[in-house]
Amino acid sequence: MRNGGDSLKIDKSNPLPYYIQLKTIIEKQIEEGIFQPNQMIPSERQLSETYGISRMTTRQAINELVKEGKLYREKGRGTFVSSPRFLQENMMSFTETLKAQGYTPTTKVLEFSVVRNLKNISKMLDEKEEQTFYKIKRLRFADSIPAALETVYIPTKYCEGLDQYDLGTLSLYKILKENYNHNIESTFLTIEALISDKMMMKIFESGKAIPLLKIEGVTRTEEDIKLFYETSYYRSDVYTYQVNIYRRMMGR
């Protein structure tokens, strides 16, 4: 196994605990590409022998990396490098978020249709039941990794002719802003943690059950129009959703 020089060795004269030193070494090897995403790292025994430390110390370092989501274990197989995560922390679109963090986003449109008589969605968007909607179902990729399954319902009256745009290559947010003068202002979301079923395992090409975040909500414009309803499933092993919560004083 490549050690990458003196900086990737345990310094036994350093008062820093050995497990922290080993943790830092493995993190650096991941950053430098010595260990690639989904690659199995050496066993605890191999690491212990390579760095001249006990297996208990090695296990402690690996446990810390697993807790932080940088490694994951598969029973009977070993310990593997997690796929890199991207962070969603504001109202940027999926495309904007990934590009800002250095990822290459791509999209596969699974469905683009016109639907009607959607009682629950019509109610959430304050529309009549007979209102027609564009239904847009897309699988989103981050550096070729299937990362999100998004389904959007948007009243056709707000963006007639939307079907003329290639939503496999263009940002929906950008189209709504530049071609229909809809500026996104806010989204009310609910977030739920799930484990993928067989259908989701197939969609995300995971080969096993994986943790998902189900995020659904209504998005409003600056004019307070309830523009669309969205329900999405994000792989939480590659996706982190960050939320700021403020406490406002409501009287004494």
CA atoms of 25 and 38, how far apart (whole Å): 18
Over residues 230-243, the mean pLDDT reads 80
Please check whether residue 248 lies inside any domain of the structure.
no
Question: Contact 146/139 with Cβ under 8 angstroms?
Answer: yes
CA atoms of 171 and 176, how far apart (whole Å): 9
| Residue-averaged pLDDT of the chain | 86
Supply the range of the domain harboring residue 231: 86-241
Please check whether residue 249 lies inside any domain of the structure.
no
CA atoms of 99 and 135, how far apart (whole Å): 25
Question: Contact 231/188 with Cβ under 8 angstroms?
Answer: no
Looking at the 3D structure of the chain, how many domains does it have? 2
* One domain for residues 62 and 113: no
* One domain for residues 180 and 61: no
Report how far apart, in Å, the C-alpha atoms of 75 and of each of 32, 67, 181, 215 are.
Answer: 27, 16, 52, 29
Q: What is the CATH number of the domain that holds 19?
A: 1.10.10.10
Three-state secondary structure readout of the chain? CCCCCHHHCCCCCCCCCHHHHHHHHHHHHHHCCCCCCCCECCCHHHHHHHHCCCHHHHHHHHHHHHHCCCEEEECCCEEEECCCCEEECCCCCHHHHHHHCCCCEEEEEEEEEEECCCHHHHHHCCCCCCCCEEEEEEEEEECCEEEEEEEEEEEHHHCCCHHHCCCCCCCHHHHHHHHHCCCEEEEEEEEEEEECCHHHHHHCCCCCCCEEEEEEEEEEECCCCEEEEEEEEEECCCEEECCCCCCCCCCC
83-110 pLDDT, tens digit per residue, is 766 555 545 566 666 666 666 788 999 9
Please check whether residue 230 lies inside any domain of the structure.
yes
* One domain for residues 118 and 205: yes
* One domain for residues 74 and 92: no
* One domain for residues 177 and 140: yes
Among residues 81, 111, 145, the one where a domain terminates is: 81
Please check whether residue 53 lies inside any domain of the structure.
yes
162-188 pLDDT, tens digit per residue, is 999 999 999 899 999 999 999 999 888
* One domain for residues 143 and 73: no
Whether the model clears a pTM of 0.85, i.e. scores above it, the answer is no
* One domain for residues 68 and 134: no
190-227 pLDDT, tens digit per residue, is 989 999 999 999 999 888 888 899 999 999 999 999 99
